[in-house]
Chains A and B, each alone.
Chain A
Amino acid sequence: MLTLVTFFPVLGAIILLSLKAIKKESDLLVKQLAVGFSAVTFVLSLGLLFQFDKSLGGLQLVDKADWIPSWNISYYLGIDGLSILMVLLTTFISMLAILSSWSAIKEQVKQYYVFMLLLEAGMLGVFLAQDLFLFYIFWEFTLIPMYFLIGIWGGQERIYASIKFFLYTMAGSLLMLLAILYMGITNETFSLPALIAGRSAFADVQNWLFVGFAIAFAIKVPIFPFHSWLPDAHTQAPTAGSIILAGVLLKMGTYGFLRFNLPLFPEASVHYAPTIAVLAIIGIIYGAIVSFPQKDVKKLVAYSSISHLGFVMLGIFSLTEAGLQGAILQGVNHGLSTGALFFLVGVIYEQRHTRMMSDFGGLWKAMPIFAVLSLIVTLSSMGLPGLNGFVGEFTILLGSMGSHALGDHAWIYTAFATTGVILAAVYLLWMYQNVFMGPLDKEENKKLRDMNGRELTIMLAFLLFIFWIGIAPAAYFALMDSTVAKMVADIVSAGALAMP
């Protein structure tokens, strides 16, 4: 089942590539097929929910086979409470991103959708792989389609942005590769559960291994100060690229911490928790402050990601049940609200070919539906209670204050992180006012059309989850509770975390 979900988009990509041989090729058919394949993948991933037993803490629906036995490398997919929401997020965001490209992509349409589908498969593989070598291959593989998406269909400085994105992430992964090889050779296995069980073999060097993994993930998240690639990649990527980048790719970093760093190196995780939490809080505040003076809406949203992901990192390294679950859910929330924001920027960019706030103003009068939907998404990003962002943020803050990993002064971390709540209002309301309020005084803006049916459908899909998670998140927490509880219990029983 997991193999089917993961490789179904690849099937789509292959069919698109061989389209010429089967049938007369047209852009419309390509689009329809791409949308269809991504939609079926989403439905398949929903099917996982029925097979998933949320009372279990361990891996489920495992697909396992020997792959390269001489190096102890196996094909090993599995799902648990850490990954199920990420898988659903991936298929959901990919589907909407593909649908959102309908009218935005006019050149080399087929290649574009092939890359989108390959990217989706790569991301699914990252979230499902339970063999470190397999994980590494998926991890690096996602770079390639993203690299082309930015480099070919991106903005003015796309080459620079795509190379920077590629090199930065690639360089960060090399240390992780070394760490993986080290563990794989000392333990003669690359399977994650086996490595966790036998982690005493590398426990004495775990601080080094932790850092090796952490740098790769920190760049992906990005944790301050490894964020320099992000504004370039986000502003230059096409709309769908930005949606996927913010919606899913960044979550690969936070997921990596959860999946590998915490269970493989519990003592190191506790040891480094205060450091990473401080960086996370710097990220929350710094990202928010730097967002404020941005003139390009897309860049503002990009920097706001640094702030939001800071919350996620704080939640993870609080090492509490509430903090971890809040972090996972906030990953989903950030994917929804920031993905939706990038989509909305794309809607207006398609019409006006500018993203500068100074070119807008008073758009509410011209596009009331667009304005109201943007308001809801902005508020979700701001963490208004009743919408999804608050649920994640509050759970994270709750967890961080009760954290033992952060020491006796955990409340100071919480207090600083909570200032992000004020700063988010400062920069997001500023953006909203500049774009939608004030007089509608520019001629070009008066003729703007409001959202069309396809755009509305995409937005309603986003909003469905923005409201659902905001009002009734219990079902989402239920999916991850057992896994997270087991994980925290493992860290405690490893003796890494003293519980009073």
Chain B
Amino acid sequence: MNAFQLAPFLLIFPAIGVLFNGLVGRRFVEADAKSGEKWSGWFASTMAILAFIVAAMLFFSLRSNEFHAEAVKMFDWFNIPSANFYIPWTIQVDTLSVAMMLVVTGVGSLIHIYAIGYMHGDPDFSRFFAYLNLFLFFMLILVSGSTYLMLFVGWEGVGLCSYLLIGFWFDRIDEQGKAMNADAGRKAFIANRVGDLAMILAMILLFWAFKSLEFGQVFGSAIEMFEKGEGVHLFGMEMSIGAVTTAVTALFLMGAAGKSAQIPLYVWLPDAMAGPTPVSALIHAATMVTSGIYLMVRSNVLLEIARESGNLVFGLVSSPDLIALTGALTALVAGLIAFTQFDIKKVLAYSTVSQLGFMVAAAGMGAYVAAMFHLIAHAFFKALLFLSAGSVIHGMEHGHHHVHEHDHGDDLHGVPEGDKHHEVEKFDPQDMRTMGGLRDKMPTTYVVYMIGALALSGIVPLAGFWSKDEILAHGSQNNQVVYWMLVVAAFFTAFYMGRQLKMVFFDKPRHAAAEHASESSPLMTRPLIALATLSVLGGLLNLPFLSESIKEANHGHPGGIWLGLEGWLEHSVQAFHLSEEGLIHLPHTPVVLSLPVAGASTVLAVLALALAFFVVYGKRPKTADERDPLQSTPIWWFSILPFEWFYMHTFVPGFKWLARWSADTIDWAFWHDFVHNNLIRDVFRGFANFASDVLDANGVDGLVNGSGRFTRYVGSIIRKTQSGYARNYALGVFLGTVILLAYFIFSY
């Protein structure tokens, strides 16, 4: 079976969904809210599912094609023959892109369905689904493009969708009257654009070095030139391929720092939680934020050359090491910040930042398959956690409404209206301090949340255990610094998840809303169960011993029905190293279950969970306003980490001041008013006066009189122009021009 030519439908289906919900969806919802929501939501979901089916067909086509990549060209985009700049819109179907397509459309479909339940009753229901489909469209462009430039279209496009969806409730304001959702969206877009600056520079550099932006051609000529030891002539000097790839991958790191929320640009992601929860799950956990990791894995050839060449960034560290260290540091720091959060979604947000750090670190260490494995597993369990958190929030809101309605009955007993409204506004359904005891109120949500949390913490045999362990195993072999940072980060992960589980689901309810919380509808819980299943079984994707034994059974070649992620990705992600004979292509670093590493990390995870569960939060908090036990420890300092502070207190006001000063003082007061209106005009006037004075001095009246008369004369003209029509005056200028022109022509 060969379905490669169907690849464009991957993009066409979501595009149809955007058009449907963008153009007519609203009318359906307005005509009849109930059936309209069904139309709007299910139409979008169907498009996502159809895209998933296309992705699955591409998966099988690849298998029957013996994993050979196919490029499906749609039409030309850029074509400048004289500059040798040619970029078509081409879909690249290879094992890496198909793996991403399956994740994006698979998890995406589940989240679409969940959102039908979650967004129920929202007046902008259809707008939401138009955005979701638009997001799928751009995300699929991102993962399926065959050139860096097409990847970049998706890259910015998903950024746009992120902006729109974070600001979905753009009319909401906080106590200070600021449009916080709109602000958060803008912050995300601008932070991403900082990364995009690096992406643009990296692409241009790649083009001038390799005269192409197509993945295959760039990698092919990079390897070839590297093997031959050739350089490129750029900027008046000879640059080695190692230097070029080092610069490009360092710039990619900056781009990934924006999109995948790494230090120092991660600050936008926690704020992004202002968007609806399905968005947090789909975009800000499972798919979009992993784009940076996809970029790294896709550019594995460039990373490997940068590593082999021994070129250093700023003479300090090779760019893959820089990437690994950045990832590890992010994993560590974000894990710590997660300790200090009370918002259920913000804990998960920082956790996402931290887990993305794991993946970036893996990519930096050259463990591309491990990075992808963790990406996929993380997509399962983090989407699960976010959607379950959404279910919890829904339940809490429900409980709060219940209480609120109940209170209305008590109004007669003389509770001041104003006070209560104040209370109503203060209630935050996402604050974990107001939760507690939800285990009994929301049993399904509790079970799936537990699975997600344990998978994230790395407990055997859930998905997160296998994927995280593979990264740690690579670390222990390749980079001890990164390894230890990640081990500590994994310990933190289990700790903050233990804290969250305890605060949300155990003990007694600490608020009336939690007491009256209720389970969400099946439309929401069924996708949760599906994701929970995936989180349990996700490890099968790349079980260490399984894929090894299959390989052995196939005489070293992966094959059969089940080939494991490693065997699958082997066809897109190459590994090699430079030796005296030139470049040697390697089989993949075999995935080994390093028992000491796995054992140690499991013990640590269990310890951390227990520490959080039984020791630190064993008996606390009892009430909603009780202080967190860690609040008096130095850990709390991380909640006000200097990055956010630096941006918000120095950079942003600094820019605003500079902009105001440039606009008001430099451009307007000085340049516009002073130089033009005063200096130039007055000098001109002075000249005109002088000329008239000299002329007048020839007359009888003399200098003083003359200037007086001139002034009167000018005044009378000005009076005329001001009382008369503007066009009379304009006509004068026109005639003057004509006369001048005629003078020029005829004086020759």
Could you list which residues of chain A lie within 8 angstroms of chain B, going by C-beta atoms?
Answer: 68, 71, 137, 140, 143-144, 147-148, 151-152, 158-159, 162-164, 166, 170, 177, 225, 228, 231-232, 286, 289-290, 292-294, 303, 320-322, 325, 362, 364-365, 372, 379, 384-386, 390-391, 394-395, 397-399, 401-402, 407-411, 414-415, 418-419, 421-422, 425-426, 429-430, 433, 436-440, 471-474, 477-478, 481-482, 484-485, 488, 500
Question: Could you tell me the distance between the alpha carbons of A166 and B208 in the complex, rounded to whole angstroms?
Answer: 44
Task: Determine whether B78 belongs to the interface, using a CB cutoff of 8 Å to chain A.
Answer: yes
A411 to B208 alpha-carbon distance, docked (Å)? 11
Q: Which 4 A-B pairs have the closest CB atoms?
A: A408-B236, A485-B82, A474-B79, A437-B170
26 contacts between A and B (CB under 8 A): A147-B730, A151-B727, A163-B733, A164-B676, A289-B658, A293-B663, A294-B663, A320-B83, A321-B80, A322-B85, A362-B170, A362-B171, A385-B153, A385-B155, A385-B157, A386-B157, A390-B156, A395-B78, A402-B208, A414-B204, A419-B197, A421-B193, A421-B197, A425-B190, A433-B179, A437-B179
Number of interface residues, chain B, beta carbon within 8 A: 71
**A177 and B744 in contact, given A397-B200, A401-B205 (Cβ under 8 angstroms):** yes
| B197 A407 Cβ-Cβ under 8 A | no
In B714-738, which residues have CB < 8 Å from any A CB? 721, 725-727, 729-730, 733-734, 737
Chain B residues within 8 Å of A477, by CB? 78-80
Stretch in contact with the other chain, from B431-439, B461-469, B664-672 = B664-672
Bound Cα distance from A164 to B83, whole angstroms: 41
Assembly CA distance A293 to B675 (angstroms): 21
B237 and A290 contact, CB distance less than 8 A? no
Cβ contact within 8 Å between A385 and B156: yes
Whether A438 and B80, one on each chain, are in contact in the complex, defined by CB atoms closer than 8 angstroms, is no
Known A-B contacts: A384-B157, A422-B193. Give 16 more (CB < 8 A). Answer: A290-B662, A293-B664, A322-B83, A362-B170, A364-B171, A385-B157, A390-B156, A401-B204, A408-B236, A411-B205, A414-B204, A415-B201, A426-B190, A429-B190, A438-B170, A474-B77
B interface residues (Cβ-Cβ under 8 A, vs A)? 22, 75-83, 85, 89, 149, 152-153, 155-157, 160, 163, 167, 170-173, 179, 182-183, 186, 189-190, 193-194, 196-197, 200-201, 204-205, 207-208, 233, 235-237, 655-656, 658-660, 662-664, 667, 671-672, 675-676, 721, 725-727, 729-730, 733-734, 737, 741, 744-745, 748
Indicate which residue in A144, A294, A410, A482 contacts B235 across the interface (CB closer than 8 Å).
Answer: A410
Q: Is the CB of A439 within 8 A of B80?
A: no
Q: Which chain B residue shows the least CB distance to A422?
A: B193
Residues of chain A lying within 8 A (CB to CB) of residue B658: 289
Nearest A residue to B194 via CB reads: A422
| Cβ contacts under 8 Å, B167 to chain A | 433, 437
Which residues of B are found within 8 Å of A158, using beta-carbon distances? 726
> Which B residue sits closest to A424, measured CB to CB?
B193
**Residues of chain A within 8 A of B79, CB atoms compared:** 474, 477-478
Within the complex, which residue of A68, A422, A433 is in contact with B186, where a contact is CB–CB below 8 Å? A433
Given contacts A362-B171, A425-B193, A474-B78, contact A228 B671 (CB under 8 A): yes
| Docked-complex contact B730 and A148, CB < 8 angstroms | yes
Pair B737/A170 contact, Cβ less than 8 Å:
yes
Bound complex: CA A415 to CA B199 (Å): 11
The reply to whether A293 and B236 contact each other, CB–CB distance below 8 Å, is no
Q: Which of A289, A325, A384, A471 has the most CB of B within 10 A?
A: A289
A152 engages B726 (CB within 8 Å): yes
CB atoms of B193 and A379 under 8 A apart: no
Residue on A nearest B178 in the bound complex, by CB: A438
Is the Cβ of A293 less than 8 Å from the Cβ of B81? no
Q: Is the CB of A162 within 8 A of B171?
A: no
The answer to whether B730 and A151 have CB atoms under 8 Å apart is yes
A231, B673: Cα distance in complex, Å: 12
Query: Contact at B189–A411, with CB atoms within 8 Å?
Result: no
Interface centre among B155, B663, B744, B748 (most CB of A within 10 A): B663
Partner of A401, one of B76, B208, B664: B208
**Cβ-defined contact, A71 with B726, below 8 A:** no
Given the known interface contacts A144-B734, A325-B80, A425-B190, the answer about A437 and B197 at a Cβ–Cβ threshold of 8 Å is no
The reply to whether B152 and A385 form a contact with Cβ atoms under 8 Å apart is: yes
**Are B676 and A228 in contact, CB atoms less than 8 angstroms apart?**
yes
Smallest CB-CB separation from A133: which chain B residue?
B745
Give the distance to chain A from B285, nearest Cβ to Cβ, in Å: 24
How far apart are B463's CB and chain A's nearest CB, in angstroms? 34
